[in-house]
Amino acid sequence: MAPGGGYRAPAWLPGGHAQTIYPQFLPRPVVRYRRERLFAPDGDIWDFDWVDAEAPPDDAPLVVLFHGLEGGSGSHYALTLMALVHALGWRGVIPHFRGCGGELNHRPRAYHSGDHEEVGAMLAAIRERVAARTPIHAVGVSLGGSALLNWLGRAGAAAGRTLVRAAAVSAPLDLVAAGTAIDQGLNRIYAQHFLATLKPKSQAMATRFPGALDPARLAGIRSMFDFDDAVTAPLHGFAGALDYWARASSLPWLAQIGVPTLVINARNDPFVPGASLPSPAAVGEAVRLELPDTGGHVGFLQGPFPGELGWLARRLVEFVRAGR
């Protein structure tokens, strides 16, 4: 069954928004994590949540999940995928981007959609912690998908030394299009949801690291553009929001990816305009594009309303197993 099969959104809410909102309220599986505190190359903290298997063989797959904006191991997509990974006797790990593990990080740095250096360093740390025979597969969701694709494109065929296969789900491939979309119409509700946690973290960082951010500009943040202009850009070496969006977009890197990679984007994703999605000619031979008509943003619900969450996890595992 294709994503969205049998799902009917309520008449008063557009399908893309329904598939984006309702997963937040559906029952989530219970997953037991083992937390490991690591140190980043600059001495900052990383929190990795591991899903262990009982006496797995060295060649049991390990699935790495890079979460989305302000997400983590408790996000619905993370729990659904990791529950399936555990049921198969595989292992999993969710490396939290800085500030997303439940504790403020210790350096004047955050995370962003083009954070390929962070993804590469996290994957290197994971590779060091498992047997050489362990096949590692990486999945990135939304912002995490964009950052993973940025790393994959830059690494090219060399990524094969770390990963066997990769997948990106609902990644904002063109950040100019996605960044503009999230501040318009109904999407402003989502933007305010993200800002409810992003702004306090930024204000705390400005207090702890005087000079890193401008408190007056933080007080004036009303949109995701404002946030990226006042926080993301100065913390990570961009000239402003537009410079960040242009330089951190993963779309230009899709042609350089050298390991089998699945890219799933629903055409009715309210954050990622369908017109911004690439054609098969714009990606490399290693990339498989799946652009279903429905699914919203990291939704892909199935069955009668309000739907069930399992399709995405099953599709990702199918790709890891079969490479198609």
Query: d(Cα 211, Cα 67) in Å, to the nearest integer?
Result: 29
Per-position DSSP letters for 219-235, written without gaps between them: HT--SHHHHIIIIIHHH
Q: What is the DSSP letter of 289?
A: E
Query: d(Cα 120, Cα 151) in Å, to the nearest integer?
Result: 7
Residue 102's region, left for phi above 0, alpha for psi from -120 to 50, else beta, is left
Helices 143-155 and 116-128 pack at an angle, to 10 degrees, of: 80
Which residue, 103, 94, 46, is CA-closest to 66?
94
Torsion, CA 51, CA 57, CA 59, CA 65, rounded to 10? 0
Q: Please, what sign has the CA dihedral across residues 169, 183, 296, 286?
A: negative
Residues with a catalytic annotation lie at 142, 269, 297
Verify cis geometry, omega within 30 degrees of 0, for the bond prior to 56: no
Q: Please, what sign has the CA dihedral across residues 126, 86, 324, 281?
A: negative
- Residue 275 β-bridge partners: none
